[in-house]
A and B are shown apart, each in its own frame.
Chain A
Amino acid sequence: MRASNMTGEKVITADKLTKRFGDFVAVDQISFEVEKGEIFGFLGANGAGKTTAMRMLCGLSLPTSGKATVAGFDVYKDNEKIKKRIGYMSQKFSLYEDLTVKENMRFYGGIYGMSDAFIKQKTAFILHHLHLENEGNKLVKSLPLGWKQKLAFSVAIFHEPGIVFLDEPTGGVDPVTRREFWNMIYQASEIGITIFVTTHYMDEAEYCNRVSIMVDGRIEALDSPSNLKKQYNALSMDEVFLQLARKATRIES
């Protein structure tokens, strides 16, 4: 485990947060807190409810009941204020393929209301940082997947949000690129950005400060990876997950 720079300030809180679709309870009274600068892993099999839970926190979906705050704002009332303070990267790749790298950054900076000067400066900084100075004017579709993924993450934190939500960001990427991607996540966390990440790669779970494991819409376990391994008497997060996931009754969707 790396040293964390958490301050104890709670930036995400959920209290008995629930989402029902008709009779189906997608998320069943989940409660947790995430501290500023923390890398919080959100684990679960497909259909366990992780994406639905994340969508409620991002303001894409209205909770059925329970309470939640993001960046200190209520998810029911202050949706608009939350949106300005969070970044989001979906499991679908989210840059425009027919736009250049710079145009994509201009666009995302633009919809967050950033100034021209800020966008220019930030774009140059990111391209330099990723060693992609020569690729700025290339169409995104001409870039390899790994680069696109890193760019997508850079775009998600382009407007310097306090919290970034990553929904299975490393799907379909090779292990080396995944490792590099996680380095970017660490760097973001070091400058104080809180990372809320869903994944089903168990090796990635080890990189998180704390992980919660969702089974059938409920949080079955929540602790640091080392504590979880101790608690379940397991050698890896994989084993922890398997022990918990066996209880699942829901059919995978």
Chain B
Amino acid sequence: MKRHFPLSIFNFQFLAFVKKEFYHIWRDKRTMFILLGMPVVQIVIFGFALTNEVKNSKFAVLDEAKDDASQSLIAQLDASRYFDLEKNLTSYQQIEEEFKKGKIKLAVVIPAHFSDDLKHLNKASVQLIADASDPNVANTLTGYATSVIMDYQVRITQERKMPYTINTELRMLYNPQLKGAFNFVPGVMAMVLLLVCTMMTAITIVKEKEMGTMEIMLVSPMRPQLVVLAKAVPYLLLSVINIATILLLSVFVLEVPINGSILLLVAESILFTLVSLSLGLLISAGAQSQQTAMFISLVALFLPTIMLSGFMFPIENMPLPLRIVSNIVPAKWYYSIVKSVMIKGVGLQAVWKETAILAGMMIFFLTMAIKKFKIRLA
């Protein structure tokens, strides 16, 4: 290559091509805004609408004790940000009626003599009844309620020393407030980068094939590998902007901290971007129409990314075959890296394995893409 073309020409060709790609993106304002606006929209949707955090759940109380201890326990539940007291009930039958109305998610039953039992027997019980038609919510709510009750217990035991009590002290490491954002920010990053890089690169290359301009390029002295790389450059830049947007939004709007090194986080994100770009190039080498390219990107990449990266569903709970398949999903490794670096604040020594796997995938996809591209010319 360099024997035939001096380095300056090589660069000039490359720059001319990259410039043209930017014109394409810039002129298609709608697509550009979608690409740049998507991370914002996704962060907002996941951050404020689709959340598995349970806040301000309505609950009802059947207080058969009506003493100072029961009142103060109820007050403490009501004061927590997870619960709002909806109704005071007077009989056991009312509990199911309330659940059937669908207004409450949890009922708390405090038996008679609650305060006396607590003082004299050193032990009292509280019944929690949850609507388990949604098991996850039910679990979460009883968990929250239990911990509020534990808090209450700790408070009163400090006042009077009681023998033989075990206090479980819970600490939610890395995410003390149990924010959903800690989970989905890494997921959204993986999804957005994959969408922008893989799908858009695949589509834009296939578009050149459809329009017949690819042939012109192949007849020109520009090397096909350069064509492919020049296509990838603008999307790499767009992705860097997207990475910045997502991180800024997470830190300043969702208050998710970046505990590890920002540099490492950005470097890993760029590595994942390169994996996605290579995949896009590989898809474009095979696909003959924009629809095919889009379909392959969606079915072969998007669904596995959502299902098998651990972002929506925990991989640990999947049957063995799915767990094995999940290993070939690049987003799984990236998701795990982002969680470790961003949330846990670990360094490269803790994520080198995932990094190496991603780097390996990138080299594999890129080699395949370039090889396939060459074969098409013969």
Interface positions of A (Cβ within 8 A of B): 58-62, 80-81, 83-84, 86, 88-94, 96, 98-99, 103, 106-113, 139, 165
Contact = CB atoms under 8 A, between A and B. Distances in A.
B4 A81 contact: yes
A113 B12 contact: yes
Contact of A113 (B9, B19, B20, B28): B9
User: Which of A109, A111, A112 counts the most B-chain CB atoms under 10 A from its CB?
Assistant: A111
Contacts of B377: 60-62
A34 B93 CA distance: 100
Contact of A92 (B13, B15, B27, B211): B211
A62 B12 CA distance: 28
Interface in B159-215: 211-213, 215
Nearest to A78: B4
Contact of B220 (A92, A103, A112): A112
A80 B221 contact: yes
Contacts of B378: 61-62
A73 to B, nearest CB: 12
Interface residues of B, number: 27
9 closest residue pairs by CB, A with B: A110-B16, A92-B212, A113-B9, A88-B219, A98-B27, A83-B221, A111-B222, A107-B20, A62-B378
A212 to B, nearest CB: 21
Contacts of B217: 111
A58 B220 contact: no
10 contacts: A80-B4, A83-B219, A84-B221, A88-B215, A92-B213, A96-B24, A98-B27, A99-B24, A109-B16, A112-B221
B23 interface: yes
Interface of B: 4-5, 9, 12-13, 15-17, 19-20, 23-24, 27-28, 211-213, 215-222, 377-378
B220 A111 contact: yes
A206 B5 CA distance: 40
Given A62-B378, A109-B16, A111-B222, 8 more contacts: A60-B215, A80-B221, A83-B220, A96-B23, A98-B27, A110-B16, A112-B220, A113-B221
A110 B212 contact: no
Contacts of A89: 216
B interface SS class: helix
Nearest to A139: B27
B23 A103 contact: yes
A90 B27 contact: no
B218 A94 contact: no
**A interface majority secondary structure:** mixed
Contact of B212 (A91, A103, A113, A139): A91
B183 to A, nearest CB: 40
Nearest to A62: B378
Contact of A110 (B4, B5, B12, B24): B12
Nearest to B223: A80
A15 B216 CA distance: 26
A123 to B, nearest CB: 14
Contact of B13 (A58, A59, A106, A110): A110
A28 to B, nearest CB: 19
B71 to A, nearest CB: 71
B24 A111 contact: no
B136 to A, nearest CB: 48
Contact of B16 (A58, A81, A88, A111): A111
A86 B219 contact: yes
B17 A111 contact: yes
**Which among A84, A91, A92 has the greatest number of chain B C-beta atoms within 10 A?**
A92
Given A106-B16, A111-B13, A90 B216 contact: yes
Nearest to A156: B216
A98 B219 contact: no
Contacts of B216: 88-90, 94, 108
B16 A107 contact: yes
Contacts of B13: 110-113
Q: Which one of A84, A91, A98, A139 has the greatest number of beta carbons of chain B within 10 Å?
A: A98
Given A80-B4, A93-B212, A98-B27, A59 B219 contact: yes
Contacts of A92: 211-213, 215
A107 B213 CA distance: 12
Contacts of A99: 20, 23-24, 27
A83 B223 CA distance: 10
A30 B12 CA distance: 39
Nearest to B27: A98
